[in-house]
A = this chain, B = another copy of it.
Amino acid sequence: MDKKVKPRLARGLQDILPAQMLARQRMIDVIRSVYERYGFVPLDTPAIEFLDVLSGTGGEEAQASIFQVANPDNQEVPLGLRFDLTVPLARVIAQYADLPRPFRRYQVAPVWRADKPGPGRFRQFTQFDLDSVGVKSEVADTEIIAAACDTLEALDVGGFRVRVSSRKVLNLLMPFADIPTEAAADVFRVLDKLDKLGLDKVKLELTTGYKDKSGDTIRGLGLSSAQVQKIEQFLDIKADKREDVLVQIKEAFAGLDDADSAIGELEKISKHLAALGYDDDRVALDLSIARGLAYYTGPVFEAVLLDAPEYGSVFGGGRYDNLVMRFLGEAAPATGASIGVDRLLAALVHLKRIKLVNSTAQVLITRFDNDLIDDYLAMAFELRRAGVRTEMYVGTAKRVGKQLKYADQTDIPIAIMMGSDEKEKGTITIKDLAQGREMSKDMSGHEQWKTERPGQFEAPRSELVQTIKNLLTQIEG
């Protein structure tokens, strides 16, 4: 045997233990069923891609956050782990000419980023993506936003808001403020700091620049005060109702080239959503949403949980009509969204909207007497065949007390015990472990707990399945 190896994970990586994993699977099942109700289909792509597929032929920088993988066939042609699910989708679209168009797919899978890890920031995390490729119609964008709402509702997240903006409308800011188009990226980079720095510092950075606390000089963009005034006017566009935002946008940008088509797109989406019952409470128009401007070409959106805004955007996406061009050389219009599964799960656990449970088993059959093992096995399989999720204790603990402790540790709600006396009488003893747990729970903020259930009782062995099913109905409500 080898020298002992220390069991450990590399930095930024995590195991997902059963309680978290069960919650995550339930979450993924719910999302999947919503997406399938919309008629999206699943796709899987390998974790490993050619590095140039992932990052394009240019740019060292784009490669910095990619985990590089040695190519077993040729060390000269590097491979990498995918950092998102959108680039592999674009590759698939370009690679398989006979895929149906539109291609409406979902994919739930891990992605990897070699960035500096931090609290809640892992180097492997799971994304759940939803995209329509080969679509120009605003109906496709509408559907993605509606699916986001339906998903968050199906997950019972509580209050949420989807905030919709548009890359095309944001671009109108340049002619509106009389700023050259080339400066757009810089201007948006600075505006992106609004939340962090506040309006005063942002205005300085747009104009003359300033020295920050540590004495470093922050260079200004050299805009004029007239230009900054126009930007402020733009930033003031805000309203609770989508219709009011649209009126303000139209007013502000009246007469500019492209204004009608850019605003018309948002207007259509907003109207479709209204017709389908997605009201202003759930979907707002909010031009402060930018979302990776380099990437998107039309409507963009993100969703926040109203009770957990500190988790940031848990769902976001938009239209990206040019990504497939990297491969095809021609645009394939596309729109989509992504859920950060781990982040959303963390938020829901934090909000106590997902209960973490350590077991799948509903019943533990204890091993009271080694001579009765075949009886215990028979009970286990009788229950399983009746659809009751059942564990027979197979561990090394001999005493039933320890076995019950195991049931407690793993949140199994019911234990069954049978000794030779009971076998002779034709009975079993059933212990309602869920009850003790309910009683010991912190009562603050919960309604007073009451039960009519006995903690432990005997039942005829012949009525095993029915008795357990009845008890489960009471426990699980």
**Interface residues, chain A, CB within 8 Å of chain B?**
1-11, 13-18, 21-22, 24-25, 36-50, 52-53, 56-59, 67-73, 79, 81, 90-92, 94-96, 99-102, 104-105, 110, 112, 114, 123-124, 132, 134-137, 139-140, 142-143, 146, 150, 271-272, 275-277, 322, 325-329, 333, 358-361, 364, 373-374, 377-378, 381, 384, 387-396, 406, 409-410, 412
Contact = CB atoms under 8 A, between A and B. Distances in A.
A404 to B, nearest CB: 13
Contacts of A327: 4-7
Contact of A72 (B58, B72, B114): B114
A396 B101 contact: yes
Q: Which of A17, A56, A378 has the most CB of B within 10 A?
A: A17
Contacts of A123: 48, 72
Given A275-B377, A276-B377, A359-B41, A56 B5 contact: yes
A271 B40 CA distance: 48
A46 B393 CA distance: 29
Contacts of A92: 7, 15
Contact of A47 (B2, B21, B124, B333): B124
Q: Which of A1, A2, A81, A272 has the most CB of B within 10 A?
A: A2
Contacts of A114: 72
Contact of A132 (B6, B15, B143, B394): B394
Nearest to A107: B21
A15 B41 contact: no
Please give me the 4 A-B residue pairs with the lowest Cβ-Cβ distance, nearest first. Answer: A39-B391, A39-B361, A2-B56, A18-B41
Nearest to A142: B377
Contact of A39 (B13, B24, B136, B389): B389
B43 A17 contact: yes
Contact of A41 (B47, B143, B358, B377): B358
A358 to B, nearest CB: 7
A173 B19 CA distance: 45
B275 A378 contact: yes
Tallying the copies of this chain within the complex gives: 2
A333 to B, nearest CB: 8
A21 B42 CA distance: 6
Contacts of A42: 18, 21-22, 25
B9 A46 contact: yes
Given A7-B327, A41-B358, 9 more contacts: A7-B94, A11-B73, A13-B48, A22-B41, A38-B389, A39-B361, A132-B394, A142-B377, A275-B377
A21 to B, nearest CB: 4
Nearest to A113: B72
A388 to B, nearest CB: 8
Contact of A69 (B15, B46, B68): B68
A8 B53 CA distance: 8
A391 B147 CA distance: 12
Contact of A391 (B38, B96, B105, B136): B38
Contacts of A39: 359-361, 364, 389-391, 412
Given A100-B358, A377-B276, A69 B81 contact: yes
A7 to B, nearest CB: 4
Given A17-B43, A18-B41, A377 B135 contact: no
8 contacts: A5-B52, A5-B56, A5-B326, A41-B410, A47-B110, A101-B396, A102-B394, A139-B392
